[in-house]
Chains A and B, each alone.
Chain A
Amino acid sequence: MLEIADVTAGYGQFTALWDVSLRVTAGEAVAVVGPNGAGKTTLMRVISGLVVPRAGTLAFEGASLTGTPAHEIVAHGIAHVPEGRRIFPALSVADNLKMGAFLPAARRAYRESLERVYTLFPVLAERQAQRAGSLSGGEQQMLAIGRALMSRPKLILLDEPSMGLAPVMVLRLFDLIRRVREEGYTILVVEQNVRQVLKLVDRAYLIEVGRIKMEGRADALAEQDFVRKAYVGL
């Protein structure tokens, strides 16, 4: 479904990713794990078009996405839930969700999508008139995911969904992401909470200083001594 080949990308003089190749097949959940500053967020921003790669290619369902601007990526069926959630704080919860359905195709299915999101996240229905900035961190993350679902994507990019959340909330959030997965969405998730995320996904990539260091089935990766010591804390 998603094919990334030999991507090198960065900001100005700084190179954050070196020759990164990655593949996600339809229906899969894939994680990218690694320490802070490894280039995980840059990888997500490359996929959603916010960062233009210096070299390498991107393709989604056979169509090339290399050099496609960010606002045209969504129409291909990729929704990015960015790091730090990036909801619109001064807009109401309902207006945030409405913006998720900004594109004409999504707009036509607006009511139906809204109902699905409210079924998945009932707390958003309760708070639909509230300012999004007044929600708790966990609720804001649900809103960010709900907003992404409003565009009716095939692939969802989740960048550090558990960042800044209380431990109880992290567990609840992973449960919710599991439910989103069961709805049939393909997921690519970047996460520092390695132990939790490896329970959620099928496959994972380990990225360090901008390079893919390891890849494999999530359960196998979780058993690796190296990964256990460095990231899982066992």
Chain B
Amino acid sequence: MIEPIFLLEAALNGLLLGGVLALLALGLNLIFGVLDVVWIVYVDLVMMCMYLVYFLVTGSGWPFWLAGLAGIGGGVVLGCAVHLLIITPILTSAPINQLLATGGLLFFLQAFATFLWTTDHRSVRLNLPIIEVGGIFLSFGRLIAFALSILAMLGLYLFLTRTFMGTAIRAVAQDRDAMRLMGANPQRVYIVTSAVGGAMAGLAAALLLLQYSVHPHFGASFGPLTFMICVLGGLGNMVGAFVASFIMSEIISVSGVIWSVEMGYVIAFVVFIVMMFAKPGGILARRQ
């Protein structure tokens, strides 16, 4: 029997992990919701930004926060580049082509990273403290990552609901031609959307580097999970993805303590498959 305090600790760690997962899922979902394109390469863009932050900290001696900001900038550049170079030429072709094109970029980035930086696992080793509260141990890095993720998502929410451009992003997702009649150039709205999605990838990169090491196959460990969360929450549904992130992270974290980390993933994937039969439109879908 496991002591309740370990379960509590696992639940808290799950909550903290869920924050960063939600950040990833919302970035991917934003782009899907507006452009109707799944950036299957999304977490590999995160991986590239992690390398950028890593080399700025360890190679150039930048303070972590500054390197993190550069990581966000790198994400914006990558996001715009993916949209302009890969998506724009095939925007009106079949969805499978867009999926394959971003999938091709995924393999390219993996090979590119392996070629340049080998398969070494690299971490920044910041020696962040571990905080103990009533017998529960939580890493400071995770707490920071969670807090900044929540803040970033709050910022995204305010951007999408309060500003003209944010509202236009939601409007273009509903009716592209009607938005042209309002005087908005859809291509401009798409670029802003891709830049925001890229910025979120860059921030997630910095926050993940606080807890994990980066390697060329980083995308393979978080990519499928992120995609699964988006589907579980209902593709394009921001609130659904947010809720689904915490469901998945709790399952992985708690069953990881009860059995093992591998078992945690097994259970998470089984829950996902069952939910796809029970609620194919996502957990928050009103009707099937």
Contact = CB atoms under 8 A, between A and B. Distances in A.
B174 A91 contact: yes
A103 B181 contact: no
A86 B170 contact: no
A174 B11 CA distance: 61
A90 B174 contact: yes
A71 B177 CA distance: 9
Contact of B171 (A82, A88, A151): A88
B33 to A, nearest CB: 11
B167 A98 contact: yes
Interface residues of A, number: 30
Contacts of B192: none
Interface string A43-62: 00000111000000000000
Interface in A114-144: none
B175 interface: yes
For chain B, give the interface size range. 10 to 19
B30 to A, nearest CB: 15
A101 B179 CA distance: 11
Given A88-B175, A89-B174, A95 B167 contact: yes
A70 B167 contact: no
Interface stretch (B103-111, B182-190, B217-225): B182-190
A102 B177 CA distance: 14
Query: Which of B177, B180, B185 counts the most A-chain CB atoms under 10 A from its CB?
Result: B180
A86 B178 CA distance: 6
Nearest to B183: A74
A48 B37 CA distance: 28
A90 B183 contact: no
Query: Which of B164, B167, B181, B183 counts the most A-chain CB atoms under 10 A from its CB?
Result: B181
B180 A88 contact: no
Contacts, number: 71
B152 interface: no
A100 B171 CA distance: 11
Given A82-B178, A86-B175, A86-B177, A102 B170 contact: no
A99 B171 contact: yes
Nearest to A96: B171
Interface string A88-114: 111100010011111100110000000
Contacts of B184: 71, 99, 102
A75 B180 contact: no
Contacts of A72: 183
B168 interface: yes
Query: Which of B168, B183, B185, B186 counts the most A-chain CB atoms under 10 A from its CB?
Result: B183
A90 B170 contact: yes
B180 A50 contact: yes
Nearest to A80: B181
Contacts of A74: 181-183
A106 to B, nearest CB: 8
A91 B183 contact: no
Nearest to A87: B178
Contacts of B182: 71, 74, 99-100, 102-103, 147, 151
A165 B171 CA distance: 25
B177 A50 contact: yes
B178 A88 contact: yes
Given A88-B174, A90-B174, A99 B179 contact: yes
A140 B170 CA distance: 19
A93 to B, nearest CB: 13
A181 to B, nearest CB: 21
Contacts of A73: 183
A145 to B, nearest CB: 13
Interface of B: 164, 167-168, 170-171, 174-175, 177-186
List 10 tightest A-B contacts by C-beta distance, closest first: A74-B183, A86-B178, A70-B180, A103-B183, A71-B185, A71-B180, A102-B182, A88-B171, A88-B174, A80-B181
30 contacts: A50-B180, A70-B177, A71-B182, A71-B184, A71-B185, A73-B183, A74-B182, A74-B183, A75-B183, A79-B181, A82-B178, A82-B181, A86-B175, A88-B170, A89-B174, A90-B174, A91-B167, A95-B167, A95-B170, A98-B167, A99-B179, A99-B182, A99-B184, A101-B164, A102-B164, A102-B168, A102-B183, A103-B183, A107-B164, A147-B182
Interface of A: 48-50, 69-75, 79-80, 82, 86-91, 95, 98-103, 106-107, 147, 151
Given A95-B170, A99-B167, 4 more contacts: A70-B180, A72-B183, A80-B181, A99-B164
